[in-house]
Amino acid sequence: MTQMNMLQAINNALDTAMAADERVLCFGEDVGIFGGVFRATSNLQQKYGKARCFNTPLVEQGIIGFANGLAAQGSVPVAEIQFADYIFPAFDQIVNESAKFRYRSGNLFNVGGLTIRAPYGGGIAGGLYHSQSPEAYFAHTPGLKIVVPRNPHQAKGLLLAAIHDKNPTLFFEPKRLYRASVGDVPDEDYQLPLGEAEVLKEGTDVTVLGWGAQMEVIEHAVEMAEKEGISCEVIDLRTILPWDVETVANSVFKTGRLVVTHEAPLTGGFAGEIAATIQERCFLYLESPIARVTGMDTPFPLVLEKEHLPNHLKVYEAIRSSVEF
Amino acid sequence: MTTTKAKVAYSPVFTDGAEFRIPTFKLLKQDGSLYKGAKAPDISKEKALRIYRAMVTTRILDERMLAAQRQGRLSFYMQCTGEEAAVIGSTAALDDADMIMAQYREQGSLVYRGFTIDEFMNQLFGNELDYGKGRQMPVHYGSAELNYMTISSPLATQIPQATGYAYGQKLRGEGHCTITYFGEGAASEGDFHAALNMAAVHRVPVIFLCRNNGYAISTPAAEQFAADGVAPRAYGYKMDVIRVDGNDILAMHEATKAARSLAVEHNRPVLIEAMSYRLAAHSSSDDPSGYRSKDEEAVWREKDPILRMRLWLESKKWWTEDDEKKLQENMRREVLETMKRAQKRPPPALDTLVSDVYDEVPPALAEQFDKLKAHIRRHPDAYPKSAEHAKGTAKEGGLK
Ligand SMILES: Cc1ncc(C[n+]2csc(CCOP(=O)(O)OP(=O)(O)O)c2C)c(N)n1
């Protein structure tokens, strides 16, 4: 075990994967000698050489198109998109190509080795182009996996699982926690399962569900609620696609209430998908409407980002409303 | 049908473009004198001083605001330092009514066109007077009055937009063009290639100005492209192109003036590659010592574009030591005083959170906003910036 922040854990995961398998490559804008603008790829070029860790020209569609080709050839590319906000130039390569390679070729070809890493989310005074949470756009696309870690231990284990997974995987990193989240991380090579949610805390009155940076917000909100005697079950979804319906439904069978929170806007956000599925599965068990605490249906603001964000107070109020319904 | 009129060869002939060595246009030497054979440009004293004042103002603004960022007054800043001639020299060659679509390091264009220090500060501090209503990070300026399109962070998106904007100008027939600025890094984006191709095919009066300053954050130009810079790409689209010493204010001005007449009078899009150097860090969040040497920076400091112009002005007896001192002192004072004023101004009103998403606030968003206001009224201490604004009108939403 070593104390690491989330960036160090991600760097450690990449290092572990590259050491274990020479087919693993890391590339993207500023990823080489500089180690990426956040330093997630520090020292990898020095250690594994320019052929396996390198700067690309500044073209996201090129980065992912290139990564698709590499993965189809049998390499294991881990491509970095500098900010999730800049993944959209590569949208076509991800949604039309990465996601459909296997399907359209009858599995003659696939890009299962591909992992795309991108820092996402707000709370860093980044305004509308350095704060977005784009997971729902990609969740509408069958063929992709989408993973969001909440802390350093999770980040290493989930990233290694994403790299080893036989499907193209988007790995969205909560950049607000890059340095803020510190914890013990095993030194060895380990993987955490994709497609499985984790129950972080058992409770009986209400299920509170989120992913990534919202887990910290939930923790704070739940503390407030528990002081008032409300027993919360807390779940980290971890994988947005394919998501773990079972774990969430089982929890709601028990608590009868669900609060889902994410930073992305409400309309078309992934909480909507969860709410629809859970009311289908758990209709007769629900004691109150499923609540969504999300960003507003606006682009991400700068000066008023605090108002826009689904913070612990908003989650806490939703928990109370749900219980007092 | 084929469109090529190439000669036929009977053995495979490959070319790699190595023969495309584009010359660099220069007029002014670092000591302020003209190169032998260079023709003195036709710039009036008045115009020369307007250009020079804009350069110095830009430099001072950058120095002060970087310092303010370091003191924690400002969240973020980006400098134009080292590239003042490329930016201001080109803007000065345009008509003030021509459209500018910039990347983010072109504050010099705004200074030249008369954006006031107050206007800069209001954006940098995102206060209630910021035209962008405090929605974007610092340095994302915009001015409808000065024909300066508001900056968007996603790189290169402005380049095809410039082609479209200029096509509209051509249809209007009012004799205007659009200039778009971008870095050599952004020129790798697909949008750049799309923009040039469409401009060439549709004969659009647009000037593409690449500031080749050697780095895209930490990535050196040599890892950005294998070719001789960005300029040769114009050949592939059959577009006029020129490479200019980007630290030479006179050459930048002359090249852009000529480009403008090609664009406006002949509907020929033009690519200008300004060869310069990003003397400062990429942004206030960046530390260049991790990817380049102080020695390398020192070489470029010697080529300071502002000093070069000053020496030229002095050689023409248009500028004195005393003028310089006054300008420096006045600007520094103005920047500091204005900064203090802007910093004290309140943030934009709470309803800027939901305005301008559409022309009118849709019902679902209005409902979200009412809930937010009710929430803020219940927790005013948690929302110091907006608690005051949340008071009043809306119906109390209650917990549900
Ligand atoms: C589409 C997109 N990708 C990545 C970024 C992040 N980014 C901001 S500036 C920058 C480097 C730009 O370099 P260049 O175009 O050469 O301009 P310079 O900063 O040198 O003036 C990068 C990668 C972005 N803003 N937009």
Residues A105 and A9 placed together within one structural domain of the fold: yes
Residues A250 and A316 placed together within one structural domain of the fold: yes
Clarify whether B215 is annotated catalytic.
Answer: no
* Pairwise CB contact (< 8 Å): A307 & B218: no
Domains with residue ranges and CATH for chain B: 45-343 (3.40.50.970), 350-391 (no CATH)
CA–CA dist B132, B148 (Å, integer): 13
Q: What is the pLDDT of residue B21?
A: 83
CA–CA dist B256, A74 (Å, integer): 49
Q: Can you name the residues that pair with B219 across neighbouring β-strands?
A: B216
Residues A60 and A179 placed together within one structural domain of the fold: yes
A76: Cβ–Cβ under 8 A, 6 or more apart, which residues?
A: A17, A21, A23, A24, A25, A113, A115, A163
Q: If we measure between CA atoms, which residue out of B349, B336, B353 comes closest to residue B387?
A: B349
Tell me what ipTM this predicted complex has: 0.96
A72: Cβ–Cβ under 8 A, 6 or more apart, which residues?
A: A101, A109, A110, A111
A239-265 exposure pattern, b = at least 16 Cβ within 10 A, e = fewer: bbbebbeebbbbbbebbbbbbbbbbbb
Residues A131 and A279 placed together within one structural domain of the fold: no
Residues A32 and A93 placed together within one structural domain of the fold: yes
Q: Considering only CA atoms, which residue is closest to atom 12 of ligand 1?
A: B216
Q: Per the domain annotation, does A110 fall within a domain?
A: yes
Which of A185, A211, A245 terminates a domain? The answer is A185
**In which element (H, E) is residue B313 found?**
helix B305-315
Q: The pTM is what?
A: 0.96
Instruction: Give the pocket of ligand 1 (CB within 6 Å).
Output: A 29, 58, 60, 82, 86, 89; B 105, 153-155, 182-186, 211, 213, 215-217, 278, 282
Q: Per the domain annotation, does A169 fall within a domain?
A: yes
Contacts of A55 in chain B (CB under 8 A): 218-219, 223
How many folded domains does chain A comprise? 2
For the stretch B290-324, pLDDT in tens is 999 999 999 999 999 999 999 999 999 999 999 99
Residues A239 and A126 placed together within one structural domain of the fold: no
Q: Which structural domain range is residue A125 located in?
A: 2-185
For the stretch B234-282, pLDDT in tens is 999 999 999 999 999 999 999 999 999 999 999 999 999 999 999 999 9
Q: What is the pLDDT of residue B399?
A: 38
Contacts of A320 in chain B (CB under 8 A): 399
Q: Per the domain annotation, does A75 fall within a domain?
A: yes
Q: Specify the ligand 1 atom closest to the Cα of B283.
A: 19
B78 interfaces chain A, CB cutoff of 8 Å? no
Q: Per the domain annotation, does A76 fall within a domain?
A: yes
Q: Per the domain annotation, does A32 fall within a domain?
A: yes
Which of A185, A206, A233 terminates a domain? The answer is A185
Clarify whether A130 is annotated catalytic.
Answer: yes
Residues A52 and A120 placed together within one structural domain of the fold: yes
Q: Specify the ligand 1 atom closest to the Cα of B105.
A: 21
CA–CA dist A282, A253 (Å, integer): 6
Q: Per the domain annotation, does A308 fall within a domain?
A: yes
- DSSP letters, A78-134, are EEE-SSGGG-GGGHHIIIIIGGGHHHHTTTSS--TT-EEEEEE-SSSS-GGGS----
Give B 303-362 residues with CB within 8 A of chain A.
347-348, 350, 352-354, 357, 362
Q: Enumerate residue ranges in chain A where pLDDT < 50.
A: none
The dihedral formed by the CA atoms of B102, B106, B107 and B111, expressed in degrees to the nearest 10:
-90
Residue A297 has its nearest CB partner, among B134, B364, B399, at: B364
Helix axis angle, B190-201 to B158-172, nearest 10°? 20
**How many angstroms does the Cα of residue A58 sit away from the middle of ligand 1?**
7
A37 interfaces chain B, CB cutoff of 8 Å? yes
Residues A209 and A273 placed together within one structural domain of the fold: yes
CA–CA dist B374, B396 (Å, integer): 6
Name the residue of chain A whose CA is nearest to B346's CA: A303
Residues A148 and A10 placed together within one structural domain of the fold: yes
| pLDDT beyond 70 at B1 | no
Q: Per the domain annotation, does A190 fall within a domain?
A: no
CA–CA dist B328, B77 (Å, integer): 21
Task: Average the pLDDT over B342-356 and give the result.
Answer: 96
Residues A175 and A215 placed together within one structural domain of the fold: no
Q: Residue A259: which CATH number?
A: 3.40.50.920
Contacts of A295 in chain B (CB under 8 A): none
* Pairwise CB contact (< 8 Å): A58 & B219: yes
Q: Which of A82, A87, A116, A129 to mutate to test the pocket of ligand 1 (most atoms within 8 A of CB)?
A: A82
> Choosing from A29, A80, A97, A130, which is the catalytic residue?
A130
Percent of chain B clearing pLDDT 70 (strictly above): 97
Give B 244-283 residues with CB within 8 A of chain A.
none
Clarify whether B291 is annotated catalytic.
Answer: yes
For residue A128, CA distances in Å to A102, A302, B44, B135 come to: 34, 7, 43, 7
Q: Specify the ligand 1 atom closest to the Cα of B212.
A: 16
Contacts of A29 in chain B (CB under 8 A): 216-217, 219
* Pairwise CB contact (< 8 Å): B135 & A55: no
Residues A203 and A168 placed together within one structural domain of the fold: no
For the stretch A198-238, pLDDT in tens is 999 999 999 999 999 999 999 999 999 999 999 999 999 99
| Closest-CA distance of chain B to residue A317, Å | 7
Q: Residue A80: which CATH number?
A: 3.40.50.970
Give A 84-123 residues with CB within 8 A of chain B.
85-86, 88-89
Q: Give the number of other Cβ atoms within 10 Å of residue B8's Cβ.
A: 4
Which of A145, A163, A185 terminates a domain? The answer is A185
Q: If we measure between CA atoms, which residue out of A98, A63, A97 comes closest to residue A80?
A: A63
Q: Per the domain annotation, does A264 fall within a domain?
A: yes
Residues A40 and A137 placed together within one structural domain of the fold: yes
* Pairwise CB contact (< 8 Å): A32 & B219: yes
